Copies of this chain bind each other. A is one copy, B any other.
Amino acid sequence: MTEPDFSRGVDGMLPAIAQDINTHQVLMFAWMNREAYLETVASGFATYFSRSRNRLWRKGEESGHRQRVSELRIDCDADCILIVVEQTGAACHEGYASCFFRKLHDHQFVIDQSVLIDPKDAYQSPHG
């Protein structure tokens, strides 16, 4: 097999999960169309498809918080992509290392991680 099965995607996009190579934290979830996937492979840096901006999203293009891809995996059905990355800065646009900074506790989601970077220092716009 040479590439994921984009015919199984949602509007041509497959789910993509980024995991930190050092901390093993799941950092974020996003989508890749075939173009984003091919650019990720060619460049060695995570590129997603931004549904809100309807264009390729080179992760960190604004903030500098890029993800260098160390491993790229697909699942048994070849319809989900896992990248293991070296994360520069913070994966989350809210400044947390991981987007999954809220944990269910007593029927409420509570923040149990610390902000690494003030988002105001990294972004002009809400995502990047």
In the bound complex, CA of A73 to CA of B104 (Å): 6
- A108 (CB) vs chain B CBs: closest residue: B2
Q: Tell me if A56 is interfacial: C-beta within 8 Å of chain B.
A: no
Interchain CB contact under 8 A, B28 and A102: no
Contacts of A93 in B (CB 8 A): 76
Q: How many copies of this chain does the complex contain?
A: 2
* Cα distance A57–B109 in the bound complex, in angstroms: 24
10 nearest A-B pairs in the assembled complex, by CB-CB distance = A24-B24, A75-B99, A73-B100, A29-B80, A72-B104, A1-B109, A76-B99, A82-B100, A73-B103, A76-B94
A residues whose Cβ falls under 8 Å from a Cβ of B: 1-2, 10, 15, 17, 19, 24, 26, 28-29, 41, 71-78, 80, 82, 92-94, 96, 99-104, 107-109
What are 12 inter-chain pairs, A to B, with CB distance below 8 A?
Answer: A17-B26, A19-B26, A26-B82, A28-B75, A29-B75, A29-B80, A71-B103, A72-B103, A76-B92, A76-B94, A76-B99, A76-B101
Given contacts A17-B26, A75-B99, 11 further A-B contacts (CB under 8 A): A10-B10, A17-B17, A19-B26, A26-B82, A29-B75, A29-B80, A71-B103, A74-B102, A75-B92, A76-B94, A76-B96
